[in-house]
Amino acid sequence: MAPTDTGIASNLFNIGAERLALLGKHHKALMQGYLDGFIDETAFSEGALKKLIAARILWRPDEQQPLALRPLLSELIASMVADENRRQINADVAEKLEQIRNRVQAYRDAQYKGDYSVAELQLQRLTEHVHDLSGQFEEAIDSLWHRLNSDFGFVASLDDKIRENERAQKQLRRLLDGLDLLDFNELIELAEGNNHLRKLLVSQLQHQLSSHHSSLLEVQKRLVELLAKFRQQQARSMLITNMAAFLRQHPKYQPADYPNRSELPTLFNQAAAIVPKAAIALDKASERQVLAELVRALPRYQPIALDDTQSASFSMALIDEEIAARQQALKTDVENFYLRVIDKGGKLSALEYLQQQALAWDSEIWLYQIIAEYQALPQDEKQMFAILRDEAPASSMNQLLLIRDISLQLQAA
């Protein structure tokens, strides 16, 4: 075993022994916390609580929640004492969700029967399942950070580092797939207006999963940065290795003096030709004559003598006339679109018609004018047409619907 490996093993041995000693020292209070579902902080000193939290034995699921055992520790105790009510056979997210659904149904059945003590117990178990689900993601994210901060530093070669990065990317992908299984619409339906269930299944869980998403995003950024760095180092290492192998095969090789060669290799002759800038030299008599001839050849501007009022009125009239002409042309093209629907029948896409007719209107202005013409029709004529909007959300985070296209067809009699 290498000295580095011996030091790592010794460090792990010391940490593990210290944390197992903590478990043995506080075994009664920890077991009572397992039975109660939460830890009585008054049973520990402040220093002992800090050590237990730092040792990843206790954690606080939420700022408003008391301390509790870590999910993996609870699962270990449940396996040792054969507690079938709490032992987790499968740690998969889908299995956790199924357990949550069953606990919600058991809680509602107990409330319906009026057995409030059983309902309180089921609510406690449901709370533990929700915290276990969130804790499962937190443990996996901590494992990813541990891999980033330790595993990449102990592997021997760049290829091993890249393989570790790919493993971490796959683990991150599985975590994201697990988060996608959580459907908050279903959780809202499970809550059904119950304040305790809504706070537990929607508010707290959504806040925790949002934090997990942010952490996974940071992990993904770090993985991409490391992979780019590893690929760059790998490329440089391959270049140096191949050059060293070439020099071993050709010990008498001497690099050529390329700047002093008359014919450069194609690899080095990649620069584009420089186009020199030209300008008339005014300090030369011959150039002055050429400049004078060019100036005389320019067409002369003939200004129209108008006073300020006439000039402004004339400009505004030209602008108004141009705007009116464009509006009329747009209105005519839209009317032709409606006539085309009447003549041909069937459904006709506005953007497809705009492309087929090679019209120069902006697509947004075109769609807006079609909607405006439809709204301006009399009620009896408006009933002749069926207007269909192709809408889509602006983004995954913005549910504002944007109109992508409009289809028009004759209404069936």
**Mean pLDDT in runs of 10 for the chain (413 residues)?**
59 83 85 82 85 83 79 75 50 74 83 82 82 79 75 67 80 81 80 79 81 83 81 84 89 75 68 74 73 80 59 61 80 84 79 83 82 81 81 75 81 60
Strands 401-410 and 385-393: antiparallel
Cross-strand pairs, 405: 390
Residue 47, SS3 per DSSP: helix
Distance CA 49, CA 44 (A): 6
- Contact assessment for residue 188 and residue 200, using Cβ atoms and an 8 Å cutoff: no
- Residue 176 neighbours by CB under 8 Å, 6+ apart: 216
Helix, strand, coil share of the chain (percent; to 5) = 70, 5, 25
Which of 43, 87, 88 minimizes the C-alpha distance to 67? 43
- Tell me the C-alpha to C-alpha distance, in Å, between residue 162 and each of 23, 170, 175, 273, 337: 38, 12, 20, 42, 59
Distance CA 220, CA 227 (A): 10
Helix axes 205-249, 116-146, angle to 10 degrees: 20
Q: Give the pLDDT confidence score for residue 352 in this predicted structure.
A: 85
- Contact assessment for residue 137 and residue 210, using Cβ atoms and an 8 Å cutoff: no
Q: Give the pLDDT confidence score for residue 67 in this predicted structure.
A: 84
Residue 266, SS3 per DSSP: coil
Residue 165, classified by CB atoms within 10 Å of its CB into exposed (0-12), middle (13-18) or buried (19+), is: buried
Strands ordered across the beta sheet of 348-349? 348-349, 401-410, 385-393
- Tell me the C-alpha to C-alpha distance, in Å, between residue 235 and each of 222, 231, 238, 239, 290: 20, 6, 5, 6, 58
Q: Give the pLDDT confidence score for residue 91 in this predicted structure.
A: 44
Q: Give the pLDDT confidence score for residue 88 in this predicted structure.
A: 46
Distance CA 256, CA 262 (A): 12
- Residue 180 neighbours by CB under 8 Å, 6+ apart: none
* Residue position matching structure tokens 């944007």: 402
Cα angle value 304/308/309 (rounded, 5°): 110
* Residue position matching structure tokens 């506080």: 26
DSSP state of 283: T
Q: Give the pLDDT confidence score for residue 136 in this predicted structure.
A: 77
Distance CA 117, CA 119 (A): 5
- Contact assessment for residue 138 and residue 214, using Cβ atoms and an 8 Å cutoff: no
- Contact assessment for residue 70 and residue 34, using Cβ atoms and an 8 Å cutoff: no
Residue 18, classified by CB atoms within 10 Å of its CB into exposed (0-12), middle (13-18) or buried (19+), is: exposed
How would you label 167-188 residue by residue, b for 16+ Cβ within 10 Å and e otherwise? ebbebbeebeebeeebeeeebe
